[in-house]
Amino acid sequence: MQAAHNGHQLALLLLDLDRFKNINDSLGHSLGDQLLAELAKRLRAALPNVETIARIGGDELTLMIEPEELDRLGVDLLAQRAIEIINQPVALAGQEIYTGVSIGIALYPDDGDDAETLLSHADAALHRAKDQGGNQMRFFAPELGQRAHARLRLEADLRRAIEHGQLRLHYQPQRSLQTGALAGLEALVRWEHPEQGLISPGAFIPIAEESGLIVPLGDWVLNAACRQMRDWLAQGFAPPRTAVNVSAVQLSQGRLAAAVTKALEENALPPERLELEITESFLMSDQERAMKTLAELRELGVRLSIDDFGTGYSSLAYLQRLRVHKLKIDLSFLRDVTSNEANAAIVNAIIALGHTLGLEVLAEGVEREEQADYLRAHQCDLMQGYLIARPLPPEAILAFVKDRG
């Protein structure tokens, strides 16, 4: 109960294997014990930051989840992950053994502020989970359960959306501020939900990141954008480059360079036509790993840009080591650049910094002519925003380019 003293939240999860008695009866206690030990080992490997995994009863495990982990994943997704892990078969005594698990969850301090109360409340929730058929989780406080349920449903829907082709890419043009020429396109994902219509990425990218679905989703985006580039090239439309957003999770996962290589090869694309947008926050979280991944990507010849620049805290020394090609000034600084001196100063400083480091500088979220004039007068290189066009489906991009070049 360390957290009691720091004013933090903490979650207590009680896990109880479904039908464990049958397993014990049919396989014998020692194999039952081995099964439990193996499952505890898997949980520990998959959830390394979870505080305690202890066996307290014949068939029970307890997980204690600390505040940092709660912030990162959310207790509902973590519990769901535990269920998925336990549902994987275990090979024991020459057979594959399948088990289910019921989970009861109590939160400190909302559901109790001492260990005994928390345990008894987690136990009550566990019994409800079992009563409802097992292999599921229940929160002690029902309203938390409803929120968790809605989120899990969205996650399940999103998983299906990827498999069933409900994702779409829209493209937003970028132009040179000096010449007005088309400089590139940014691919932005949308979810065409069968009932809810077009859903914007802000509503599902965070869930995709938390659940790990961002990896298959990111692969889909990368491949779809590369296929589109190939189709456009075949039709004689050759935007200098197309940018794809890449999540921090994809970068820390270590497979990105291989996925990029494959997508480029399969579509016979020169690497410099592809740009990857990464955010500053990723750059701050795991520097050495970030450097390694970025170096691999640079080796491949793809272009790299830093998205939403100015909202994170990159050190200048670090920025120089990164050797990206472009900075994208976050749209929050652009909104009132012509009337807010503080934001104007930030925009000017980013342009100067970028140019000093030999990088291209793009301003995002340009909606009005006066913003474009300001940027042009301050030597910003490129702009993107509703002033040029909203993100458009691929057919509309072709029409747009035919129309306005």
Our finding on whether 277 is near Mg ion (CB under 5 A) is yes
User: C-beta of 298: minimal distance to Mg ion in Å?
Assistant: 19
> Of all residues in this chain, which one has the CB nearest to ligand C2E in the complex?
385
The answer to whether 364 and 334 have CB atoms below 8 angstroms apart is yes
User: C-beta of 278: minimal distance to Mg ion in Å?
Assistant: 9
Site for Mg ion in 290-349 (CB under 5 A): 307-308
How far apart CA 226 and CA 230 sit, in angstroms, is 6
Site for ligand C2E in 180-199 (CB under 6 A): 188-189
User: C-beta of 48: minimal distance to ligand C2E in Å?
Assistant: 24
Q: Closest CB to ligand C2E among 280 and 307?
A: 307
- The 3-state DSSP class for residue 200 equals coil
For the chain, how many helices (H) and strands (E)? Answer: 17, 16
Site string for ligand C2E, 272-301 (x = CB under 6 A): -----x------------------------
Q: Which one of 201, 216, 312, 394 is in contact with ligand C2E (CB under 6 A)?
A: 201
The answer to whether 61 and 40 have CB atoms below 8 angstroms apart is yes
Q: Which one of 307, 329, 363, 374 is in contact with ligand C2E (CB under 6 A)?
A: 307
Phi, psi values for residue 210, rounded to 5°: -65, -35
Site string for ligand C2E, 202-241 (x = CB under 6 A): x--x------------x--x--------------------
Q: Which residues contact 119 (CB under 8 A, 6 or more apart)?
A: 12, 14, 106
Site string for ligand C2E, 159-178 (x = CB under 6 A): -------------x------
Q: Which one of 245, 250, 305, 384 is in contact with Mg ion (CB under 5 A)?
A: 245
- The 3-state DSSP class for residue 156 equals helix
Our finding on whether 14 is near ligand C2E (CB under 6 A) is no
Site for ligand C2E in 85-104 (CB under 6 A): none
User: C-beta of 96: minimal distance to Mg ion in Å?
Assistant: 45
* Cα 124 from chain centroid (whole Å): 34
In order, the DSSP letters of 351-364 are HHHHHHTT-EEEE-
User: C-beta of 8: minimal distance to ligand C2E in Å?
Assistant: 29
Partner from ligand C2E, Mg ion, none contacting 385, C-beta within 5 to 8 A by type? ligand C2E
The set of long-range contacts for 316-325, using a CB threshold of 8 Å and a minimum separation of 24, is: 316/353, 318/283, 318/287, 319/353, 319/357, 320/357, 321/291, 322/283, 322/291, 322/294, 323/294, 323/298, 324/278, 324/294, 324/359, 325/275, 325/359, 325/360
How far apart CA 314 and CA 141 sit, in angstroms, is 41
Phi, psi values for residue 108, rounded to 5°: -95, 135
Partner from Mg ion, ligand C2E, none contacting 123, C-beta within 5 to 8 A by type? none
Site string for ligand C2E, 382-401 (x = CB under 6 A): ---xx----x----------
User: C-beta of 375: minimal distance to ligand C2E in Å?
Assistant: 13
Half-sphere exposure of 100 (CA within 13 A, CB side): 11
Partner from ligand C2E, Mg ion, none contacting 202, C-beta within 5 to 8 A by type? ligand C2E
How do 326-329 and 303-309 pair as beta strands?
A: parallel
Stretch of 127-135, 147-155, 358-366, 369-377 contacting ligand C2E, by CB under 6 A: 358-366
User: C-beta of 149: minimal distance to ligand C2E in Å?
Assistant: 25
Q: Which residues contact 187 (CB under 8 A, 6 or more apart)?
A: 169, 170, 171, 221, 224, 225, 228, 242, 243, 244, 245
How far apart CA 370 and CA 366 sit, in angstroms, is 9
Q: Which residues contact 384 (CB under 8 A, 6 or more apart)?
A: 172, 173, 174, 175, 186, 328, 362, 363, 364, 365, 366
How far apart CA 367 and CA 31 sit, in angstroms, is 67
Task: Using CB under 6 A, count the residues that bind ligand C2E.
Answer: 22
User: C-beta of 371: minimal distance to ligand C2E in Å?
Assistant: 9
Which residues form the interface with ligand C2E (CB under 6 A)? 172, 188-189, 200-202, 205, 218, 221, 245, 247, 277, 307-308, 331, 364-367, 385-386, 391
Which residues form the interface with Mg ion (CB under 5 A)? 245, 277, 307-308, 364
